[in-house]
C-alpha cells in the first residue's frame, strides 16, 4: 500500500472513532436534558455530599454523616476483600479438583467430576441464594450458637474465628523484617549464578538476626491471638467475624469459579506431552515429584492465560453480592443512585471501578505470565 | 493480513455509527412532551390514543398491589390505576401493569415507560424537585415502623442496640433508619437487600432481629407469612410516609387528570355516593352532585376526558371508603384501621377540594 493511503486510512479511522464517541456523548447529554429539564447536569460534585445511609460492614471507619465518596470507597474495599479471598479459595479448589480429575483414584476422580459438572452448570445467582439461605442462615441464633473446638462460633448472625491481631510491637517487627528481607534478597541476588546451600543459609541468617533484634527492642511478639468471646447471650466479640453475607458471596463465587479453574488446570496438564511424564517416571521420580516439579510447571504456561479470564470473571461476578445483601461497591452505588437520582454518574463510577479492578488484575497476571514463559535466546 | 484487519475495524465502526445516529434522530415522544409545558402534546393524548393505561406498581404487597392466583392485580395502588382507566375508557380493565422494584420505579416514570407510578411511593421534596416527579394527592398516610419476633425481648427502637436490622435499598426507609438511629446514638448493623422478597426472607430466616419498612408494608407482608402471629409491629414511628401516585412533571394536563381522579374517590365518599347508589344519584337534583357526576357543567370536557368521568369511576371502582375496605379493611387479612386515612369529618385528614 502506498504511504499516502496508509496515513489517510489512519486519519479516517481516527475521525470515525472520535466521531462515534462524540455522537454517543452528545446523545447522552441531549437525552438527559430532555428527560429531566434543568436540574440534572452531569457532574460528580454530589460525591462530597453526606451519604446518610448506613453500611453493614466496613473495613475503614464509616458513618452515615460521611460523604458518598467515602461510602463508595467502603464498598470498593468490601469488593476487593471478596475478590482477593475468592481468588485464593477458587484457585486452591480449582487446582485440587483439576488434578483430582486426572487422579488414578476412582473415587477422587468421580467426586471431582461431579463437583465440576454439577456446579458449573447451575446459575451462580441460584448458588448464592443456596449458600446464603440454605447454608449460612441455617446455623442457630447467637443464643444457641454452635461452638467448634478452638473457639469457633457458627451462628446466623455470622461466624467468629480466632484471629491474629496487631500489637504495639508490630511496627518495629515489620521494619526489621523489611530490612532483613532486603538484605536477604541482596545476598541471594549477588549469588544468583551459584545458588549454593551456603548462600540460602546466609540469607536466612539475615532474617533471623533482625527478628531477634526486633524481639530485643520490643520484648513482644509481632502478632497476638485474638479469641472471640461471648459477651452476653446475644453478643460475641473479638476474633474475626465473617458476616453470613460475606461468607455466602465468597463461598459461592469460589466454588463456582473453582469448577472452571479445575477444567483449565486439567486441560493444561493434559497438554503437557506424554513424553514428559514417561521421561520423569523413567528417572524413578515419585508421582508427587513428577507432578510438582516436572508436569505442573510446564502446564502453568498453558494454564495462566485462561486462568486470568477466570479471575476476571470472578471479579466481575462479585457484583452479584447485592443479591445476598453484601455491601459491595455495586450495592453502595445503587443506594447512592436511588437517593440522588443520578443513574448515569452512578453507572460511570461502577464502570470505572470494575474496569480498574479488571485491568489491574490482568496486568498482574500478564506480568507473572511473562515470567514463567520460556525465554528464547 | 493487514488489509483484512482494516476491513474488520471499518466494518465494525460503520455498524456502530448509524446506531449512534438514530438515537439522536428520533426524539422520544414521551420525553419531549415532558419537557415542554404546552398543552398540545400531553401524555393524556398518548394514553387515549393507545386505548389503555400503563401503570407501574410493586406487585409484591398484598392490599396495595398484588398478583392474585388468577393473574389479576388487586390493591389500593392498583385501584387508582383502574379508576383512571374507568374515567378515560369506561373500562377499569384497560390497564397494563408493570412490576417495578424500589430502585426501578423512578427511571421508569422519567423515561416514560409507564404513564403513572402507583407504587406505595412516599411524596418527598427531593423526588418532587430533583427527580422531577409530580405527585398526586396522598392516597395513604403511612409511617415507617419496625417488626420483630414476638418471642424476642425487643420492644422499642432503643432495645435494638447492636442488633441487626433488615432493610430494602432504594427506599426512604433505608435513610430514615440511619437518621433515627444516628439521632438517638444507637449503633446497629444494617443488612441491605435490593429485592423485597429476599429482604423479608432474610428476616424470617432469622438473619435480622428486626425489619423496617412502611408500617402498611410490614402488615401487608406479614399477612402472607406462614405464622403471622409470631411477629409484632412495634409502636415506634420512625417517620411520616405519605404515599402518593406520581407522574413525570411538566405535563399539567396529565397530572390534573390523575389528581382529580383521586379527589373523585374522596369526594364520592364525602357525598356518600358509592358504586351501588351512583345510578340513583345520577338523577339527583342537587347541583353539587350534578356537577360532580357530570350532569351539569363541563369540567371533564375541559380536561379533555369524558364529562361523566366521576360517575364512571364510582360505578366501576367505588368511592375511597369502598376501595379501602375492599383492600385493607376489616374483612381483609390486613385489618388496617382507617386512622388518618379517614375523611376529615370522621377523625382522619382526607379532604377533597370542591368540584366547582
Ligand atoms: N414508601 C417508601 C418505601 C417504598 C418501598 O419500596 N417499600 C418496599 C418495602 S416493603 C416495597 O414495597 N418493596 C416492594 C418491591 O420492591 O416490589 C418509599 O417510597 O421509598
pLDDT tens digits, one per residue of B294-341: 988 999 999 999 999 999 999 999 999 999 999 999 999 999 999 999
Range of the domain at A199: 170-226
Q: Would you say residue A332 lies in a domain?
A: yes
Asked if B178's CB is within 8 angstroms of A64's CB, the reply is yes
d(CA B279, CA A108): 79
Give the three-state DSSP class for A64.
coil
> Number of helices (H) and strands (E), helices first, in chain B?
15, 14
Q: What b/e readout covers B192-226, taking b as 16+ CB neighbours within 10 angstroms?
A: bbbbbebbbbbbbbbbbbbbbbbbbbbbbbbeeee
Task: Determine the distance separating the centroid of ligand 1 and the alpha carbon of B16, expressed in angstroms.
Answer: 39
Question: Whole-angstrom Cα distance, residue B342 to residue B120?
Answer: 18
The pLDDT assigned to B289 comes to 95
Residue range A303-314: average pLDDT? 94
Give me the total of CB pairs closer than 8 Å, taking one residue from chain A and one from chain B. 139
Contact A156 B206 (CB under 8 A): yes
Q: Which residues contact A326 (CB under 8 A, 6 or more apart)?
A: A78, A82, A243, A245, A246, A248, A249
Tally of domains in chain A: 2
Smallest Cα distance from B194 to chain A, Å: 7
CB-CB under 8 Å, A56 with B191 = yes
In this complex, do B130 and A39 lie within 8 Å of one another by their Cβ atoms? yes
Does the CB atom of residue B58 touch ligand 1 within 6 A?
A: yes
Q: Which of B9, B107, B207 sits opposite A13 (nearest CB)?
A: B9
* DSSP structural state of residue A51: -
Of the listed ranges A121-135, A224-238, B127-141, B185-199, the least confidently predicted one is A224-238
**Does residue A318 form part of some domain?**
yes
Which CA distances in Å does A226 have to A160, A232, A317?
Answer: 11, 18, 32
Confidence category of residue A287, pLDDT binned at 50, 70, 90: confident
Contacts of B181 in chain A (CB under 8 A): 54
Residue A90 has pLDDT above 50, yes or no: yes
Q: Is B220 in the pocket of ligand 1 (CB under 6 A)?
A: no
Domain boundary among A226, A256, A291: A226
Q: Which of B102, B170, B198 sits opposite A323 (nearest CB)?
A: B198
CATH number of domain containing A293: 1.10.3720.10
The response to whether residue B168 sits with its C-beta less than 6 Å from ligand 1 reads yes
Q: A81, A99 in Cβ contact below 8 A?
A: no
Is B60 close to ligand 1, i.e. is its CB under 6 Å away?
A: yes
Contact criterion met (CB below 8 Å) for B243 and B61:
no
Contact A55 B190 (CB under 8 A): yes
**Grid cell at residue A195:** 545458588
Residue B123 cell numbers, joined: 411524596
Atom index in ligand 1 nearest the CA of residue B172 equals 20
In this structure, the answer to whether residues A247 and A307 fall within a common structural domain is: yes
User: Do the beta carbons of residue B313 and residue B87 sit within 8 Å?
Assistant: yes
CB-nearest to A54 from B13, B171, B177 is B177
pLDDT confidence of residue A143: 87
Mutation pick for ligand 1 pocket among B59, B212, B214 (CB with most ligand atoms within 8 Å): B214
Write down the pLDDT at residue B38.
46
Cell numbers found for residue A93: 479448589
A41 part of a folded domain: no
Asked whether residue A250 is domain-assigned, the answer is: yes
By CB atoms closer than 10 A (0-12, 13-18, 19+), residue B101 is middle
The larger pLDDT score, comparing residue B229 to residue A191, is at B229
Would you say residue A194 has pLDDT above 70? no
| Residue nearest atom 10 in ligand 1 by C-alpha distance | B217
| Separation in Å, CA of A35 to nearest CA in chain B | 5
* β-bridge mates for residue B122, sequence order: B243
Smallest Cα–Cα separation from B90: which of B279, B294, B289, B309?
B309
The pLDDT value given to residue B114: 97
C-alpha to C-alpha distances, A262 to A306, A307, B91, B145, nearest whole angstrom: 11, 10, 60, 49
Q: What does the block give as the cell for A238?
A: 473479638
Instruction: Tell whether ligand 1 has an atom less than 6 A from the beta carbon of residue B214.
Output: yes
Give dist(CA B74, CA B35) in Å, integer.
33
ipTM of the shown complex = 0.84
B311 vs A204 pLDDT, higher one: B311
Burial B18-34 (b: 16+ CB within 10 A, else e): eebeebeeeeeebbebb
The residue written with cell numbers 463510577 in the block is: A349
Tell me which of A157, A192, A226 is where a domain ends: A226
Verify that A222 and A244 share a domain, yes or no: no
Q: Do A251 and A309 lie in a common domain?
A: yes
Residue A355 and residue A244 share a domain: yes
Of B20, B21, B169, the CB nearest to A334: B169
Q: Does B102 touch chain A (CB under 8 A)?
A: yes
Asked whether residue A21 is assigned to any structural domain, the reply reads no
Please tell me whether residues A261 and A323 are part of one structural domain. yes
- Counting residues of chain A whose pLDDT is more than 70, the rounded percentage is 95
A257 with A367, same domain: the answer is yes
| Residue whose CA lies nearest to ligand 1 atom number 15 | B101
Q: Dihedrals φ, ψ of A154, to 5°?
A: -110, 120
Residue B191 is placed in which grid cell? Answer: 443488612
pTM score of the predicted model: 0.86
Contact assignment for A35 to B163 by CB distance below 8 Å: no
Q: Which of residues 250-309 of A touch B (CB under 8 A)?
A: none
- Name the band, by pLDDT with cuts 50, 70 and 90, for residue A331: very high
If contacts are CB pairs under 8 Å, which of residues 164-203 in chain B contact chain A? 164, 166, 169-171, 174-175, 177-179, 181-182, 188-195, 198, 201-202
CB contact under 8 A, A137 and B207: yes
Residue where one domain finishes, among candidates A226, A250, A267: A226
What residue owns the CA closest to ligand 1's atom 16?
B101
The shortest C-alpha distance from A207 to chain B (Å) reads 43
Between strands B65-67 and B60-61, the pairing is antiparallel
The residues of chain B scoring below 70 in pLDDT are 1-40
- Both A266 and A346 in one domain: the answer is yes
CA of A125 to the centre of ligand 1 (A): 23
Q: Is residue A340 part of a domain?
A: yes
Cell output for A130: 443456596
**The pLDDT value given to residue A288:** 85
pLDDT digits 0-9 by tens, B158-183? 999 989 999 999 899 999 999 999 99
Q: Please tell me the distance from the alpha carbon of residue B169 to that of residue A56, in angstroms, as a whole number.
A: 12
Q: Spell out the alpha helix ranges (H) of chain B.
A: 2-25, 29-35, 43-50, 76-89, 105-110, 125-129, 172-184, 196-204, 215-222, 252-270, 278-281, 287-293, 299-303, 309-316, 320-327
Cell of A138: 441455617
Q: Checking phi first, is residue B318 left (phi over 0); if not, alpha (psi -120 to 50) or beta? A: left
- The whole-number pLDDT of residue B337 equals 95
Residue A326 or B3, more confident: A326
Indicate if A191 and A309 belong to the same structural domain.
Answer: no
- Interface contact A30-B24, CB threshold 8 A: yes
Residue B38's CB: how many other CB atoms inside 10 A? 11
**Whether residues A253 and A216 fall in one domain:** no
Determine if ligand 1 sits within 6 Å of the CB of residue B327.
no
Closest CA to ligand 1's atom 13? B196
One domain, residues A261 and A315: yes
- Clarify whether residues A249 and A330 are in a common domain: yes
Query: In this structure, is residue A296 part of a structural domain?
Result: yes
**Cα A5 from Cα B175, distance rounded (Å):** 61
Q: Is residue A37 part of a domain?
A: no
Q: What domains can be seen in chain B, in order of their start residue?
A: 43-141+243-346 (3.40.190.10), 144-239 (3.40.190.10)
Cβ pair A256, A124 in contact under 8 A: yes
Q: Are residues A99 and A243 in the same domain?
A: yes
Grid cell, residue B298, equals 363541563
* 3-class secondary structure, A153: strand
Q: What is the 3-state secondary structure of A317-354? A: HHHHHHHHCCCCHHHHHHHHHHHHCCHHHHHHHHHHHH
Closest A-chain CA to B18: A20
pLDDT band at A377 (very low <50, low <70, confident <90, very high): low
Amino acid at each position: 500500500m502506498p504511504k499516502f493511503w496508509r496515513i489517510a486510512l489512519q486519519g479516517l479511522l481516527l475521525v470515525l472513532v472520535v466521531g462515534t464517541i462524540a455522537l454517543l456523548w452528545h446523545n447522552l447529554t441531549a437525552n438527559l436534558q430532555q428527560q429531566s429539564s434543568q436540574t440534572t447536569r452531569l457532574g460528580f460534585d454530589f460525591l462530597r455530599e453526606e451519604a446518610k445511609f448506613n453500611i453493614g460492614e466496613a473495613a475503614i471507619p464509616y458513618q452515615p454523616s460521611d460523604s458518598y465518596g467515602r461510602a463508595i470507597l467502603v464498598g470498593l474495599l468490601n469488593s476487593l476483600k471478596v475478590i482477593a479471598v475468592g481468588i485464593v479459595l477458587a484457585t486452591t479448589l480449582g487446582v485440587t479438583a483439576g488434578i483430582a480429575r486426572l487422579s488414578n483414584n476412582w473415587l477422587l476422580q468421580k467426586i471431582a467430576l461431579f463437583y465440576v459438572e454439577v456446579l458449573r452448570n447451575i446459575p451462580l445467582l441460584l448458588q448464592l441464594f443456596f449458600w446464603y439461605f440454605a447454608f449460612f442462615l441455617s446455623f442457630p441464633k447467637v443464643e444457641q450458637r454452635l461452638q467448634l473446638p478452638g473457639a469457633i462460633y457458627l451462628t446466623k448472625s455470622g461466624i467468629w474465628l480466632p484471629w491474629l491481631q496487631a500489637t504495639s510491637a508490630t511496627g518495629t517487627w515489620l521494619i526489621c523484617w523489611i530490612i532483613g528481607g532486603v538484605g536477604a534478597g541482596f545476598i541471594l541476588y549477588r549469588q544468583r549464578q551459584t545458588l549454593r546451600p551456603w548462600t540460602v543459609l546466609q540469607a536466612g541468617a539475615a532474617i533471623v538476626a533482625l527478628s531477634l533484634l526486633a524481639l530485643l527492642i520490643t520484648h513482644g511478639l509481632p502478632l497476638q491471638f485474638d479469641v472471640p468471646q461471648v459477651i452476653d447471650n446475644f453478643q460475641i466479640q473479638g476474633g474475626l467475624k465473617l458476616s453470613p453475607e460475606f461468607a455466602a458471596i465468597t463461598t459461592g463465587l469460589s466454588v463456582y469459579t473453582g469448577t472452571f479453574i479445575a477444567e483449565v488446570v486439567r486441560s493444561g496438564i493434559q497438554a503437557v506431552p506424554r513424553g514428559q511424564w514417561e521421561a520423569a517416571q523413567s528417572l524413578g521420580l515419585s508421582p508427587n515429584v513428577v507432578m510438582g516439579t516436572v508436569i505442573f510447571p510446564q502446564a502453568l504456561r498453558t494454564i495462566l492465560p485462561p486462568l486470568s479470564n477466570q479471575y476476571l470473571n470472578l471479579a466481575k461476578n462479585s457484583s452479584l453480592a447485592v443479591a445476598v445483601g453484601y455491601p459491595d461497591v455495586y450495592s453502595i452505588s445503587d443506594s447512592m443512585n436511588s437517593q440522588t437520582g443520578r443513574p448515569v454518574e452512578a453507572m460511570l463510577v461502577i464502570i470505572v471501578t470494575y474496569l480498574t479492578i479488571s485491568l489491574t488484575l490482568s496486568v498482574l497476571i500478564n506480568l507473572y505470565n511473562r515470567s514463567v514463559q520460556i525465554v528464547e535466546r | 493480513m493487514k488489509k483484512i484487519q482494516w476491513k474488520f475495524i471499518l466494518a465494525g465502526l460503520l455498524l456502530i455509527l448509524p446506531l449512534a445516529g438514530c438515537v439522536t434522530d428520533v426524539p422520544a415522544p414521551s420525553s419531549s412532551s415532558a419537557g415542554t409545558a404546552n398543552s398540545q402534546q400531553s401524555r393524556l393524548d398518548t394514553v387515549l390514543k393507545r386505548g389503555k393505561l400503563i401503570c407501574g406498581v410493586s406487585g409484591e404487597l398484598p392490599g396495595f398491589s398484588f398478583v392474585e392466583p388468577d393473574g389479576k392485580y388487586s390493591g389500593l395502588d392498583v385501584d387508582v390505576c383502574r379508576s383512571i382507566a374507568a374515567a378515560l375508557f369506561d373500562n377499569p380493565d384497560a390497564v397494563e401493569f408493570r412490576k417495578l422494584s424500589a430502585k426501578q420505579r423512578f427511571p421508569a416514570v422519567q423515561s416514560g415507560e409507564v404513564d403513572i407510578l402507583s407504587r406505595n411511593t412516599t411524596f418527598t421534596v427531593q423526588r418532587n424537585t430533583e427527580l422531577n416527579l409530580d405527585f398526586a394527592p396522598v392516597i395513604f398516610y403511612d409511617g415507617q415502623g419496625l417488626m420483630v419476633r414476638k418471642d424476642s425481648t425487643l420492644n422499642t427502637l432503643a432495645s435494638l442496640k447492636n442488633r441487626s436490622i433488615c432493610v430494602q435499598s432504594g427506599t426512604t426507609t433505608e435513610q430514615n433508619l440511619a437518621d433515627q438511629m444516628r439521632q438517638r446514638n444507637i449503633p446497629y448493623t444494617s443488612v441491605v437487600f435490593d429485592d423485597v422478597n429476599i429482604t423479608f426472607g432474610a428476616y424470617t430466616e432469622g438473619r435480622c432481629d428486626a425489619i423496617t419498612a412502611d408500617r402498611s408494608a410490614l402488615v401487608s407482608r406479614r399477612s402472607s407469612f406462614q405464622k403471622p402471629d409470631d411477629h409484632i409491629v412495634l409502636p415506634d414511628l420512625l417517620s411520616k410516609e405519605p404515599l402518593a401516585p406520581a407522574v413525570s412533571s411538566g405535563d399539567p394536563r396529565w397530572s390534573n387528570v390523575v389528581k382529580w381522579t383521586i379527589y373523585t374517590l374522596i369526594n364520592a365518599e364525602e357525598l356518600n355516593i358509592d358504586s351501588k347508589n351512583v345510578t340513583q344519584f345520577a338523577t339527583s337534583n342537587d347541583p353539587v352532585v350534578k356537577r360532580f357526576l357530570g350532569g351539569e357543567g363541563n369540567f371533564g370536557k375541559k380536561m379533555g376526558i369524558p364529562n361523566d368521568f366521576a360517575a364512571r369511576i364510582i360505578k366501576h371502582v367505588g368511592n375511597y371508603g369502598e376501595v379501602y375496605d375492599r383492600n385493607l379493611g376489616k374483612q381483609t387479612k390486613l385489618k388496617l384501621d382507617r386512622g388518618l386515612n379517614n375523611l376529615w369529618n370522621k377523625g382522619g385528614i382526607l379532604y377533597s377540594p370542591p368540584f366547582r
